[in-house]
A = this chain, B = another copy of it.
Amino acid sequence: MPSTDLLKLSATEIASKISGGELTSVRLIEALLSRIEEREKTVKAWAYIDPNIILEQARKSDQSGSLGLLHGVPIGIKDIIDTCDMPTQMGSPIYIDHQPLIDASCVALTRSAGALIMGKTVTTEFAGSFPGLTTNPHNHERTPGGSSSGSAAAVADYMIPVAFGTQTGSSILRPSSYCGIIGYKPTFGRFNIFGIKPAAQSLDTLGLHVRSMEDIQLFTSVLINRNFKPLESPSYFPKIGICRTELWDFALPETKLALENAATNLEESGAKVSDVKTPSSFKGLEEARILINCYERSRHMVYEWTEHRASLSMPFQEVINAGLNMSNDDYTAAMKQTEKCLNESNNMFQDLDLIIAPCVDGEAQLGLDFSGNPRFSGLWTAIRLPTLNLPTHLGPNGLPVSIQLVGQYRGDDKFLSIAKWVLQKLGSPSLKIS
């Protein structure tokens, strides 16, 4: 198998080839390192990567018996997630060279299932809006999105099959959409977040950047500790709601076209597609999410605010200052709204298996200073539902445009099964990467 083909393997395929003796970890890692060597100077996806550390892991892995489902599978780790053998710098000069004592739970779980920790991927400053240096692999003058910028770019650029990201607004789905891969934000709380620097703890969700639906199933099995069963499409035609949301006017033409076209194609494929509106309680939900984000974020950052204020970016300082001055009554009201919307969202799923909705405003914008608006994913993050972006369309500049899939609260297994069906029906346009 030529090295370039190794780059395209999914994590599931890697696990299978390594356990079947067709591939060694060292060979795979050498191919990935060579890809990174070639591309990193323009993509800038990595905050920390040490070929010696990862090759040493690969050699040990090849010499040991299988440790578990992820034996020999490399993963990239967003750089707000603690690793015991690599620094966690959080996109901030305050944490330059900061070496955590222990692994975050998600790292420890994947490591003990045999995964190789490839390195740390670039995050915006503390997973906020101030960007890192990463560029969009499809066009280096455009943003990769954020905050999980390096995770999405590295997976899209074939530097790594899978990476951890976190989402507090749209930090997994937006960069995944801009970079043309799949991003999965599970139901809030499904994956353990201990050892991850919080942005806003009522919203923070650990998720995955992948190029294959199967890899979501594989990593889910490890993270919630169950046996692996391949993802199966449903044996019935799913009932799908198309929800334009009250933010529809913010969607650019390519996003509107993608969603309408997806609805038409899914109906032609046998799905029962109907319009669905968000309940009236959703009015102002994105503003509520922004308030919660700001209020909680400021309290997570009190130490840095007190001791290292000058090392925070000006936009970040403004967020913290605003958050510290918000009233607890307003915060409580916002939390109550999200809880009400979550409860009412269950009604939306009484006659629906899945909702499709806009994912991002449109294609990745020009420029690296602004990583894009989180509103279309933010709505669903606020109410804790499982979401996924599928890069099913292209925009006017030939860049990827995703639709967003939304599932019922705590219904992730059914959600992923139907998402697989949707992707089978819609397909994904091929993207040329140099």
Flag whether A236 is at the interface (Cβ < 8 A): no
Number of interface residues of A (CB under 8 A): 38
Flag whether A310 is at the interface (Cβ < 8 A): no
9 residue pairs of the A-B complex, CB under 8 angstroms, read A105-B300, A108-B306, A109-B302, A112-B302, A112-B306, A194-B299, A225-B324, A225-B325, A336-B410
- Enumerate A89-148 residues with CB–CB distance to B below 8 Å: 98, 101-103, 105, 108-109, 111-112
Contact partners of A24 in chain B: CB under 8 A: none
Q: How far is the CA of A328 from the CA of B191 in the complex (A)?
A: 11
The answer to whether A335 and B410 touch (CB under 8 A), given A108-B302, A109-B302, A299-B109, is yes
- Most-contacted residue by chain B among A102, A304, A343 (CB, 10 A): A102
In the bound complex, do residue B84 and residue A192 qualify as a contact, i.e. CB atoms below 8 Å apart? no
Flag whether A224 is at the interface (Cβ < 8 A): yes
In the bound complex, do residue B192 and residue A299 qualify as a contact, i.e. CB atoms below 8 Å apart? yes
**Chain B proximity of A45: nearest CB distance (Å):** 26
Q: How far is the CA of A102 from the CA of B343 in the complex (A)?
A: 37
Flag whether A281 is at the interface (Cβ < 8 A): no
Flag whether A189 is at the interface (Cβ < 8 A): yes
Q: How far is the CA of A324 from the CA of B328 in the complex (A)?
A: 37
Task: Name the contact of A328 in the complex, choosing from B98, B109, B224 (C-beta under 8 A).
Answer: B224
Flag whether A64 is at the interface (Cβ < 8 A): no
In the bound complex, do residue B201 and residue A296 qualify as a contact, i.e. CB atoms below 8 Å apart? no
Contact partners of A102 in chain B: CB under 8 A: 303-304, 307
Flag whether A327 is at the interface (Cβ < 8 A): yes
Scan A286-330; emit 1 where CB is below 8 A from any B CB, else 0.
000000000010011011101100000000000000001101100
- Enumerate A195-247 residues with CB–CB distance to B below 8 Å: 195, 198, 201-202, 224-226
In the bound complex, do residue A84 and residue B303 qualify as a contact, i.e. CB atoms below 8 Å apart? yes
**Chain A residues in contact with chain B, CB under 8 A?**
84, 98, 101-103, 105, 108-109, 111-112, 189, 192-195, 198, 201-202, 224-226, 296, 299-300, 302-304, 306-307, 324-325, 327-328, 332, 335-336, 343, 410
Residue of B nearest to A198 (CB): B194
Q: How far is the CA of A304 from the CA of B201 in the complex (A)?
A: 23
**Chain B proximity of A417: nearest CB distance (Å):** 15
Task: Name the contact of A194 in the complex, choosing from B105, B112, B201, B410 (C-beta under 8 A).
Answer: B201
Task: Name the contact of A105 in the complex, choosing from B103, B192, B299, B327 (C-beta under 8 A).
Answer: B299
Q: How far is the CA of A111 from the CA of B302 in the complex (A)?
A: 10
Contact partners of A327 in chain B: CB under 8 A: 226
Q: How far is the CA of A343 from the CA of B299 in the complex (A)?
A: 27
Q: How far is the CA of A335 from the CA of B335 in the complex (A)?
A: 19
Q: How far is the CA of A420 from the CA of B198 in the complex (A)?
A: 35
**Chain B proximity of A411: nearest CB distance (Å):** 9
Contact partners of A192 in chain B: CB under 8 A: 201, 296, 299-300
Contact partners of A195 in chain B: CB under 8 A: 303
Task: Name the contact of A189 in the complex, choosing from B112, B303, B335 (C-beta under 8 A).
Answer: B335
**Chain B proximity of A79: nearest CB distance (Å):** 16
Q: How far is the CA of A328 from the CA of B302 in the complex (A)?
A: 35
**Chain B proximity of A139: nearest CB distance (Å):** 37
Task: Name the contact of A332 in the complex, choosing from B98, B335, B410 (C-beta under 8 A).
Answer: B410
Q: How far is the CA of A17 from the CA of B396 in the complex (A)?
A: 69
Contact partners of A101 in chain B: CB under 8 A: 98
Residue of B nearest to A224 (CB): B328
In the bound complex, do residue B225 and residue A328 qualify as a contact, i.e. CB atoms below 8 Å apart? yes
Q: How far is the CA of A98 from the CA of B105 in the complex (A)?
A: 19
Residue of B nearest to A202 (CB): B189
**Chain B proximity of A195: nearest CB distance (Å):** 8
Task: Name the contact of A193 in the complex, choosing from B201, B224, B304, B410 (C-beta under 8 A).
Answer: B201
In the bound complex, do residue B202 and residue A108 qualify as a contact, i.e. CB atoms below 8 Å apart? no
Contact partners of A111 in chain B: CB under 8 A: 306
Q: How far is the CA of A328 from the CA of B227 in the complex (A)?
A: 11
Contact partners of A202 in chain B: CB under 8 A: 189
**Chain B proximity of A402: nearest CB distance (Å):** 27
